[in-house]
């Protein structure tokens, strides 16, 4: 099992980061926002997430780069 790219690091030097998948929800269109306000938007569907941003953020983190994890605002449905 690879531990986020730290499998070659001494166990005393490993670092752990918890990243919420909620941080990577897509910014909703006006139509999607209207559905969300009525409880009709499926936030569990895979298309609800910005997979490219999630992948790039995790990849950069594993490579040792400093990354900024977005904060999703559930009121405005934006980051």
Active site residues: 22
CA-based torsion, 70, 44, 59, 9: positive or negative: positive
Only one residue has tokens 């980061």, namely 17
Contact 49, 26 (CB under 8 A): yes
């Amino acid at each position: 099992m690879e531990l986020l790219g730290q499998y070659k690091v001494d166990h005393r030097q490993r670092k752990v980061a918890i990243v919420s998948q909620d941080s990577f929800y897509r910014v909703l269109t006006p139509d999607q926002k209207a559905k969300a306000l009525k409880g009709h938007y499926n936030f569990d569907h895979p298309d609800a997430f910005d997979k490219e941003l999630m992948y790039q953020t995790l990849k950069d983190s594993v490579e040792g780069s400093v990354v900024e994890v977005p904060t999703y605002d559930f009121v405005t449905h934006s980051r």
